[in-house]
Amino acid sequence: MTGRRPAERPEAAAARLTGCRTAVLRRQFGAMAEVVLDGGDIVVVKPGNGPEAIRAEAAGLRWLAEAGAVRVPAVRGHDEDWLVLDRVEAGQPTPAAAERLGRELAALHDRGAPAFGAPPPAGPADAWIGLAPMANVPGSSWPQWYAEWRVLPYLRRAVDDGILDRADAALVERVCRRLPELAGPDEPPARLHGDLWNGNVLWGSDQSAWLIDPAAHGGHRETDLAMLQLFGCPHLDRVLAGYQQVRPLADDWTDRIGLHQLFPLLVHTVLFGGGYAGQALAVARRLG
């Protein structure tokens, strides 16, 4: 998440939002900063992309933490301009940590959600995935919900922005019509991270994986796993092995990886254009 830099210094915001007497800037990286609180704890201070985006991220992190399944940085405080989180001390990915992440993701998904598209409690209904708005509208049928609220909104915007033309759109719309037959076995709504690309997995010095920057909502569990595959993840084979130990996937789940990747590919098409449009259309051609 990036956005305007508030006039307040990050160390001052950290002290105010955590109730500490003093806080000292440790380093800045991009728009974010690491700050040392007066008790010695190190926190990350992030300026937000608007008040609703900050609320959504904070609520998403708390909803994932409440599941007691995955590791996420604790939310120390937030307001309309800033989000303050515990820092994760960086380490290296290992096969053991990856396998543990797979088991933890399976447990997270198993905690469930009230509906497909259900937002985290106490968060706004409409949230963000990266810098793109994302509507969280509850639904009971995953194929219908996925088409209406995850694929088609970004397809329409890509067409409106001139990135895709009507012939391109027809390819994706055909996939949406076929979703009931492409979706595979019925699955209950899972509690998703929602934006689980490799950059949102931090490998900690404690030999664990930590998840950041969620676009948390109720969805299909295969979506998180497809996102991990889209941009690559260290030791992905061990992540999947760990997942299968806890909550085995349908035998043909790999046939649907492209289907679940269509959503993030269209989001990236809207945000970045270029090659992502070609990838989205290639997936649509295979599925259509």
pLDDT at 106: 98
pLDDT at 129: 95
Residue partners of 94: CB distance under 8 A and separation at least 6: 203, 207, 235
Question: The pTM is what?
Answer: 0.94
- In the predicted model, residues of the chain with pLDDT beneath 50 are 1-5
pLDDT at 4: 44
Q: Catalytic site residue 168?
A: no
Separation of alpha carbons 118 and 217, rounded Å? 5
Query: Which superfamily does 10-86 belong to?
Result: Phosphorylase Kinase; domain 1 (3.30.200.20)
Catalytic, out of 195, 224, 237, 252: 195
- Dump pLDDT digits (tens) for 94-124: 999 999 999 999 999 999 999 999 999 989 9
- Dump pLDDT digits (tens) for 5-17: 457 999 999 999 9
Task: Show the 3-state SS of 65-105.
Answer: HHCCCCECCCEEEECCCEEEEECCCECCCCHHHHHHHHHHH
Separation of alpha carbons 198 and 8, rounded Å? 31
pLDDT at 273: 87
pLDDT at 171: 98
pLDDT at 3: 44
CATH T-level fold of 95-287: Aminoglycoside 3'-phosphotransferase; Chain: A, domain 2 (3.90.1200)
Question: What is the average pLDDT score of the chain?
Answer: 95
Parallel, antiparallel or unpaired: strands 42-47 and 32-37: antiparallel
Q: Where are the domains of the chain?
A: 10-86, 95-287
Long-range (24+ apart) CB contacts under 8 A made by 242-246 are 242/98, 242/99, 242/100, 242/101, 242/102, 242/103, 242/104, 242/105, 242/106, 243/102, 243/103, 243/105, 243/106, 244/102, 245/102, 245/103, 245/106, 246/102, 246/103, 246/106, 246/107, 246/110
pLDDT at 30: 86
pLDDT at 7: 78
Nearest to residue 117, comparing CAs of 147, 95, 97, 91?
Answer: 147
- Beta-carbon neighbour count of residue 87 at 10 Å? 16
pLDDT at 274: 80
